[in-house]
Structure 1
Amino acid sequence: MIENMLLDWKIKKENLSEITTDNASNMKKAFELFPCVWFPCFGHNLNLAISKVLKIPRVESATRACRHLFQGFSRSWKCKRELQKKQAELNIPEHSLIHDVVTRWGSTFEMISRFLEQQQAICDRSTWHLMPKDTDITVLEKLSQLLCPLLDFTDVLASEKQVTLTSLNPVLEHNNNEILQDQEEDCALTKQMKAVIREDLLMQRRYPEEIKNVLNISSFVDPRFKGSFAENLDDTVKACSDEAMALASHPDTEDPLASTTQSSVRTSSTTTKKSLSGLLQQITSAKKNRSQASAHEMPSIQERIDSEIKLYVSLPAISADSDPLAWWKAHVEDIPMLSQVARKYHGFPATSVPSERVFSASGHIISPHRSRLSTENVNMLTFLHCNMN
């Protein structure tokens, strides 16, 4: 089926560089025979790790109590009315209660956050029998403190308009060394929850050598990080050099230096006047361009790649909030070979969330009032929805 879809879009299987899916065994098996790197979705990896935290008995009991409380409010219009009165009296944001979806930890976090926000308004004599115990509330507070920063990273890495995979190495290192690192003030439960996530997100477990190599190269060609987050900088530089050589040797890859020279020759020839002086100027300009081209052709491709990497490393890193794509656009003529590597790796997504958004968009397009749309029209409307600003 996948190969048929590629044929429909006229995409050659050999031209695929990377495929990001969730960690389902059928997904992994489906792409084993593809000549590209299969990358596990970071969001799914994190979801699996946090799901194990939510199965810790104390955590599971606390979240279940919160869930039952919210279900009680959803079934009683009197409780909803009293909640609105309490919110107004206590000057608490008049937010409705959120129910979680057990397969999505983000919804569980939102449910817990809403409970902690509305705790004073919810605590009423008529609902005391539904309220979680004090020990459960303490567990919910500790869980919320742990999950809050992790949710921020998940949302950022699910972006469709920004480079995401290049940031995964810094995010994983920050998670392990900062967010999931045990602190003196942490209670035993917090340390247990951190240990569960930390162990499940280990690079050796979730990311084999081939994938770690992709992560190292992608972060290296990001001018915000360069070699700051590479496990072994020398090995990463060597892998990046090999990748640049492979792209330069690919028959579909055009030599950026040659194309620049040819375009300059064409530009100069079209702008000169059809006169003797203009023809002489064109002749001398062409001779100068040939001399420059021959001078550029003297070093081998490997030497050009090595010199570009040295130049790239010597340039100062840009700020973390800068756009790496804009930086490469400004430096593509100075570092043409390495820019091809950046162009390839900057397009890899860190999560499979964008593809899931496509299915959500289709669900909004097809409704009971629009149930007779043809398959072709649904595909076109979905395409327009996802690609028009």
Structure 2
Amino acid sequence: MLEEWAIKNTDLVSITTDNATNMIKAFEDFPELWLGCFGHNLNLAISKALKIQRVDTAVRACRHLVQGFSRSWKRRRALKEKQAALNMPQKALIHDVVTRWGSTYKMIERFLSQQQSICATLAGERGVWHLMPKDADISVMEQMCQLSESLSKFTDALASETRVTLSVIKPVLDHITCEILVENNDDPSLTKEIKRVMREDLNSRYTERAKNVMKMACFIDPRFKMSFLDEPEPAIVDRCVQEALKLTPAQTGEEPQSSSDPPVASEGKGLARLWKEISSTRQKRGEEDKTPTTQENGVREEIKIYLSLQSIPAEEDPLGWWRGHASELPHLARIARKLLCIPATSVPSERLFSASGHIVSPNRSLLKPEKVNMLTFLHTNLK
């Protein structure tokens, strides 16, 4: 893939993919940072909780009920009549997709909201009473729905945005694991188990190396800075200083000229020629005086200035902020350019594959690759 797109390994910072087995196998020895899609990680954690026996039984019962209505137009018509009689919104039941936990949540939420009309519909048909879930299953669905409601907001937000950068993972992950999935004393035992399973699975999805990069990206984001970091300030500052020192030679693209190299020929005559030689010598001496210690002090001064500036609102673009402060904070701007380009989720790229799949339909299967590329580009950008 990298060879086909002529991407050099030296230009790579990170690769973000889903957590499919083939992806993990492909990038397990990858020299650069590999990140699993945050949306996929959240989906896997919730799917693991859905496999708990009591939860799985309740979800199957709800799915069986929905299938019972979808296979009978008479039953669907009777449901609409009962909804109208009870002054309830006339909404159809929702099928879930096994690979998307959000659809399972919507299926359960729709069943719970229409439970009264569903019971009234089934009561008039004795042969289908078995379709109604048991009280124990309904109790499980209520607990699962209550917990999933807040998580669905994060899934919808991450999937709807097109520029979800790595810096947002740390705040969102901390809020989910330390607020939403914290076990309370008054929680039922099943809710505690669901929270524990989700929390442990989410925390195991990121390596220590990935967590360190996430912390640095959060620090360099002017929306967050130190707000969501749980480690001492000197530790993250030292890490940023080391990263800035590593990026400085690569950014300038200039290597100091060795003493054995022949001097550059100076143009001009007389005093002009001597002045150019003096200026060149003075410039070389200044470059030699820029030791790592001097550069390190410069980076630390930039960090002090950066922390003294006011944080920007959450809805503003951090990359746009850095474009305006690149001349004032050049070392930190290099770190921001490197880290804030890393996507936290692979949803936008997967959405492109879905768009191209709709374009190459059975009725347009003879489209040439060049035409598909152009149509996909127009579909994505002409909005």
TM-score by length of 2: 0.83
Structure 1 residues 72 and 200, CA gap change in structure 2 (3 angstroms): same
1:387 aligns with 2:353: no
The residue aligned with 1:133 is: 134
SS for the counterpart of 2:45 is: helix
User: 1:54·1:60 contact (CA, 8 Å) conserved in 2?
Assistant: yes
Tell me how far apart the structure 2 counterparts of residues 341 and 206 of structure 1 sit (CA, whole Å).
Answer: 24
Percent identity (aligned)? 56
SS for the counterpart of 1:249 is: helix
Cα shift at 1:40 = 1.3
Letter in 2 for 1:130: L
The residue aligned with 2:149 is: 148
SS for the counterpart of 2:93 is: coil
Gaps of 5+ in 1: 255-290
The residue aligned with 1:177 is: 178
> What is the alpha-carbon root mean square deviation over aligned residues?
2.5
The alignment covers a number of residue pairs equal to 346
Cα shift at 1:217 = 0.7
Tell me how far apart the structure 1 counterparts of residues 308 and 88 of structure 2 sit (CA, whole Å).
Answer: 54
Gaps of 5+ in 2: 255-282
The residue aligned with 1:191 is: 192
Q: Quick check: 57-66 or 40-49, which moved more?
A: 40-49
What are the equivalent positions in structure 2 for 1:310-325 lying under 5 Å apart?
Answer: 310-325=304-319
What are the equivalent positions in structure 2 for 1:239-278 lying under 5 Å apart?
Answer: 239-251=239-251
SS for the counterpart of 2:335 is: helix
Tell me how far apart the structure 2 counterparts of residues 31 and 384 of structure 1 sit (CA, whole Å).
Answer: 32
- Render the CA deviation track for 1:203-259: whole Å, top value 9, x for unaligned: xx22212101110111001112112222423222222222222222115769xxxxx
Tell me how far apart the structure 1 counterparts of residues 25 and 163 of structure 2 sit (CA, whole Å).
Answer: 29
- Render the CA deviation track for 1:113-139: whole Å, top value 9, x for unaligned: 111122222222125331111111111
1:14 aligns with 2:13: no
- Render the CA deviation track for 1:117-174: whole Å, top value 9, x for unaligned: 2222222212533111111111111001111111211222334433432111111111
Tell me how far apart the structure 1 counterparts of residues 74 and 253 of structure 2 sit (CA, whole Å).
Answer: 68
Letter in 1 for 2:61: A
SS for the counterpart of 2:15 is: strand
Letter in 1 for 2:173: L
Structure 1 residues 144 and 364, CA gap change in structure 2 (3 angstroms): same
User: 2:162·2:348 contact (CA, 8 Å) conserved in 1?
Assistant: no
1:46 aligns with 2:47: no
Cα shift at 1:327 = 2.7
- Render the CA deviation track for 1:322-344: whole Å, top value 9, x for unaligned: 43233323323322221221122
Structure 1 residues 336 and 93, CA gap change in structure 2 (3 angstroms): farther
Letter in 1 for 2:208: E
Tell me how far apart the structure 2 counterparts of residues 246 and 91 of structure 1 sit (CA, whole Å).
Answer: 67
User: 1:6·1:12 contact (CA, 8 Å) conserved in 2?
Assistant: no
Letter in 2 for 1:37: L
Structure 1 residues 251 and 185, CA gap change in structure 2 (3 angstroms): closer
